[in-house]
Amino acid sequence: MKGEAYTIVNTFAGRQYSSTHKCYYIPYSEASLDEVSKALSEVTEIQLLKWDQHTGPEKTSDIPVVSIPLSYSETLIKMRYSNATLENYIVQFKFFLRFIFPKDSENFNEEDIHHYLLYLINEKKVSISTQNQAINSIKFYLEHVKRMDRQTYYVDRPFKEHKLPTVLSEEEIAALLRQVKNIKHKCIVLLLYSAGLRMSELLALQVKDIDTDRGVINVRNGKGKKDRITLLSNTAYRYLQRYYSAFQPKNWIFEGQTGEQYSARSVNNIIKVAAEKAGIKKIISAHTLRHSFATHLLEHGTDIRYIQNLLGHESSKTTERYTHVTKKGFEKLLSPLDAIADKLNFDDDKDI
């Protein structure tokens, strides 16, 4: 289980992991089954099974078998899309082909696309993000695989949601770090927070990327296939030296047991366990530490243009969302309720 699907299951209320059976369990109810099924179906393929005590699992529905042209995945690979994007596009395009079945990829038209988008909105009630992913997967086929001109079809784009990122306070970051005892795990969390790294960037870090002379970390082939540099914290580097001495990584800074790249699942599990021990109630992940890095820099007076470069954002508008969660300047503000508090004559004991 990867990416978004793993995050959905790993943050689902009441979920428990069985190391014996290598699977997750959630408390059964029709509501919880509907909730987790709907969330997973937006990002990956799922098959619901019902269990018959005599015959075992039975399919609850017949799903048409569809075939995606080989040229679809080949074009994604040739254009060097990331594995995550490749998998997502293929899943979303397969969902579309199932909807238009028995038509296939050679025979659908603009009307089919509009019917599908209405189905996603009205019946599947997918998020705006998932709707956009569905559109992108179809557009990719038409424009890059079939090489059709953009003007030959028209698709309405939904308004984008503007959600504020979840941010930890500096006190919560300190509490989180205090709960991470393993030196390898501590270095992972320290680098995510102190350098504002994406998960994929952290996992791709190599020993040669740590430039101690310049005091920077070289992020290679980040989002959008772009290189950049970001901060190398003195504190993080001190722990890295201890980690190097104990583990002696050869290629990736953080390696699995057999020398492969460390897994994203393991990183998020480290953060989840530490957050629970620290009493942090917010739902957080590795990306929360990146949001916190940017917000705390802003609160300490760092120019937003520097933050944009450190994060590797193409547009300053992406970075500007942190201005909506920073508390900088709030210490000079007074709530209007507090301004009239002395006129209220509240008797706290009687109110209780």
Catalytic member of 198, 220, 265, 321: 198
Q: Are 274 and 156 in contact (CB under 8 A)?
A: no
Query: Using an 8 Å Cβ cutoff, are 219 and 312 in contact?
Result: yes
Look at residues 48, 90, 84 and name the one whose alpha carbon lies nearest to residue 70.
Answer: 90
Best CA proximity match to 177, nearest among 328, 11, 298, 292: 292
Concatenate the DSSP letters of all residues of 50-72 into one string. EEETTTEEEESSPPPP----HHH
Which residues does residue 230 pair with via DSSP β-bridges, in sequence order? Answer: 217
Alpha carbon distance, N-terminus to C-terminus of the chain: 50
**Is the distance from CB of 66 to CB of 45 less than 8 angstroms?**
no
21 is catalytic: no
What residues does 52 pair with on adjacent strands?
56
The catalytically annotated residue of 184, 185, 296, 313 is 313
- Rounded Cα distance, 236 and 230, in Å: 13
Q: Among this protein's residues, is 238 annotated catalytic?
A: no
Annotated catalytic residue, options 124, 220, 223, 277: 223
- Active-site pick, 72, 89, 193, 322: 322
Residues present in the chain in total: 352
Q: Are 148 and 142 in contact (CB under 8 A)?
A: yes
Residue 296 to residue 170: CA distance in whole angstroms: 8
- Is 239 an active-site residue? no
- Respond yes or no on whether the N-terminal peptide bond of residue 102 is cis (omega within 30° of 0): yes
Q: Say whether 237 is catalytic.
A: no
Q: What dihedral angle (degrees, nearest 10) is formed by the CA atoms of 278, 281, 285, 289? A: -70
198 flagged as catalytic: yes
The active-site residue out of 184, 290, 291, 296 is 290
Active site residue 114: no
* Gap between the Cα atoms of 122 and 83, Å rounded: 30
Among 139, 144, 277, 287, the one annotated catalytic:
287
Catalytic residues: 198, 223, 287, 290, 313, 322
